[in-house]
A = this chain, B = another copy of it.
Amino acid sequence: MTKRKPSRKPRAQFRRESPDDRSRQLGEAALRCILKKGTAGVSARQIAAEAGVTQGLINHHFGEIGELVAYAFDLMSDGILDAIVARTNAAPPTPQARLDAYVEASFSPAIFDQDVLKTWVVFWGLILHSPRMSASQKTEYSSYVKTVEGLLSDLATSEGFAIRDVRLTAVALTALLDGLWLAWCLNPDAFRPQDGIALCRSWIEGLRRGAYA
């Protein structure tokens, strides 16, 4: 008598990992998928395959896939902000040097990078329809603006020029940075990283000359 179901798929071996480690692996796999295929790369199967696990694991750790995407967003978001702030704090403790370091960090190879910015832009489009991601973005944005606000008002105090509304002015510099990121991401030939730095420095020069008083 023959076996009725002769070919039972052998179960794959696996390593057991802590929820934190596995979550991070899945989050990073999600980022790679988004980079490779944009929104089309956001699927439980694709991300699981990229991470080298089965799809069930995503539901196990995140419940639904939207949670994983939001987690990946936080991962990247925190990484970028931390990197910029770290470089700012590594600068000499003068307002001039600190603000300039913030600008230079924004155009440094680790951040001003096609892969990073492409992923970033895709996230922007996802934020709008995810309350969870929208909440993350709001706090992250306000953290950005707060940081710039401090840098700008320190510079103004140090050099003795006036700024009518520091928060709005910080919004403007942040917007300029984001806008340059976007422009370069969609059209890398439009300008070079050093051009971006120069344009931000010119913006700061306008500030110095009282254009925002």
Interface presence of A93 (CB below 8 A): no
Within the complex, which residue of B38, B177, B205 is in contact with A206, where a contact is CB–CB below 8 Å? B205
Are A129 and B38 in contact, CB atoms less than 8 angstroms apart? Answer: yes
Known: A128-B122, A172-B203, A179-B179. A211 touches B212 (CB 8 A): no
Within 8 Å by CB of A190, from B39, B141, B205, lies B141
**Cα(A210)–Cα(B205), bound, Å:** 9
Tell which of A20-28, A46-54, A191-199 binds the partner: A191-199
B175 and A180 contacting across the interface, CB-CB below 8 Å:
yes
Closest to A117 in B: B128
Contact with B along A18-49 (1 / 0, CB 8 A): 00000000000000000001111000000000
**This chain: how many copies in the complex?**
2
CA–CA, A40 and B37, complex, Å: 15
Give which listed residue, B118, B179, B203, contacts A178 with CB less than 8 A. Answer: B179
Query: Is residue A187 within 8 Å, beta carbon to beta carbon, of the partner chain?
Result: yes
Q: For the complex, what is the distance from the CA of A124 to the CA of B119, rounded to whole Å?
A: 11
Please, which residues of chain B bring their CB within 8 A of the CB of A101? Answer: none
- 12 additional contacts (CB under 8 A) given A38-B125, A205-B211: A40-B129, A134-B186, A138-B187, A168-B191, A171-B183, A171-B190, A172-B176, A175-B182, A175-B183, A179-B179, A203-B203, A203-B211
Q: Which 5 A-B pairs have the closest CB atoms?
A: A206-B206, A179-B179, A175-B179, A125-B125, A206-B211
A contact set with B: CB distance below 8 Å: 37-40, 118, 121-129, 134, 137-138, 141, 145, 168-169, 171-172, 174-180, 182-183, 185-187, 190-191, 195, 198-199, 202-203, 205-212
17 contacts across the A-B interface (CB closer than 8 A): A39-B39, A118-B128, A122-B128, A124-B125, A125-B126, A138-B187, A168-B191, A171-B180, A171-B190, A171-B195, A176-B176, A178-B179, A182-B182, A203-B203, A206-B206, A209-B211, A211-B211
